Amino acid sequence: MRWRYPFFVLVLALIFIALFTIFAHSEEPTQVVTVRVSSGDTLWSLAREYGDPGTDPRNTVFAIRQINNLENPRIYPGQELKVPLSN
């Protein structure tokens, strides 16, 4: 019978972690703008231009890559990218 208490605590901890994970990723939908890449543009420059000035541009670069399904950071003039807008 001693195992019931630790088992109960473990189950509660797993439920808490699962709920935290679900709610941590359920943010409001981010607004995006479609940008046509110009010569000299980089993901970093787009992140600095359109991202929130108070956040690390690496987060915006990651979001741009994720939204556009970019496997690598290369972008080309004329390419259209969806870029998240800062709030």
Q: How many residues does the chain have?
A: 87
Question: Is the pLDDT assigned to residue 24 strictly greater than 80?
Answer: no
pLDDT digits (tens, 9 = 90+) for 10-22: 888 888 887 777 6
| Contact between residue 71 and residue 36 where contact means Cβ atoms under 8 Å apart | no
Question: Is the pLDDT assigned to residue 81 strictly greater than 70?
Answer: yes
| Contact between residue 42 and residue 83 where contact means Cβ atoms under 8 Å apart | no
- What is the crossing angle of helices 43-50 and 57-67, to 10°? 110
**Residue 34's beta-bridge partner residues?**
82
The range of the structural domain enclosing residue 54 comes to: 4-84
Average pLDDT over residues 44-73: 91
Question: What does the pLDDT read at residue 28?
Answer: 55
Query: Is 0.85 surpassed by the pTM of this model?
Result: no
Q: Could you give the number of structural domains in the chain?
A: 1
The CATH number linked to 38 is 3.10.350.10
Amino acid making up residue 14: L
Question: Is the pLDDT assigned to residue 45 strictly greater than 90?
Answer: yes
Question: For residues 52 and 85, what is the distance between their CA atoms, to the nearest angstrom?
Answer: 8
